Amino acid sequence: MQTLGKQTDGQSNDAIYAMALRALSTAPLHTGVAVDVGAGAGNFTRILAGRFEHVHALDAFRPADLPANAVFHETDLNGIWPLTDNTADLLVALEVVEHLENPRHFFREITRILRPGGCGFVSTPNNHSLSSLLTFLTKGQHRAFQAPSYPAHITPVLKIDLERMLQENGLHLLDFFYSNRDTLPLLHTEIRFGGPLFSFNFGVLFQQPAQ
């Protein structure tokens, strides 16, 4: 049986980390408790640990060499996450939702864990990029969800899906961000025009309403 969605030692590239940091620099809070959902190899957990008092890292596989203020929780992200309600001042999930079976359950868990006024940032492959649109037109598949990405990438998510799931959970959309990096199909040449049409990844910054 294939293990759908799960990936050992997951890592994002520098453009995704830079995108996340740009987003977090605009968030209205920068201290307290952070949660790294789908921590993978722990790269962004370490970044958060240098900025927040305490970090929870959630994934199916334990990262190595986490800082002293970071705690790992072995977690099936398709199930109930092992954190109590209202735990997080900040929650980050970089390139995670496309690995999961039910993105709506994912956002319900985010909503449960975020404290009133807390912020979240979720990134995923950008299915609105020019390259992805051309791939879909010619092959009938999203660019990041073709055979080489399966069974890791199983759930493509569009911008409208993110908007709807935030609305369904009463989360306030703050802004969308783009990785501003892409590669030309077949040629594998990097381009840096940026924005929605020329970014391989994008993410959404949102906030739990204050009570």
DSSP string, 110-153: HHHHEEEEEEEEEEEE-TTSHHHHHHHHHHSS-GGGSGGGTTT-
pLDDT score at 105: 98
47 within some domain: yes
Residue 123, domain member (yes or no): yes
pTM of the predicted structure, to 2 decimals: 0.94
Q: Which DSSP letter does residue 10 get?
A: -
Residue 1 lies in a domain: no
Q: Does residue 141 lie within any of the structural domains?
A: yes
Q: By residue range, what is the domain housing residue 72?
A: 14-207
Residue 93 within any structural domain of the chain: yes
DSSP-derived letter for residue 84 is -
Predicted pLDDT of residue 185:
66
5-10 average pLDDT score: 64
Number of domains in the chain: 1
Q: What are phi and psi of 48, to 5 degrees?
A: -65, -35
Residue 129 lies in a domain: yes
Distance in Å from the first CA to the final CA of the chain: 45
Kindly state the average pLDDT of the residues 69-75. 97
Quick: pLDDT tens for 29-44: 768 999 999 999 999 9
Query: Does residue 121 have a pLDDT over 80?
Result: yes
Residue in 60, 155, 164 with CA at minimum distance from that of residue 101: 155
* Domain presence at residue 8: no
Question: The CATH number of the domain where 145 resides is what?
Answer: 3.40.50.150
pLDDT digits (tens, 9 = 90+) for 163-195: 999 999 999 999 999 999 998 766 667 778 889
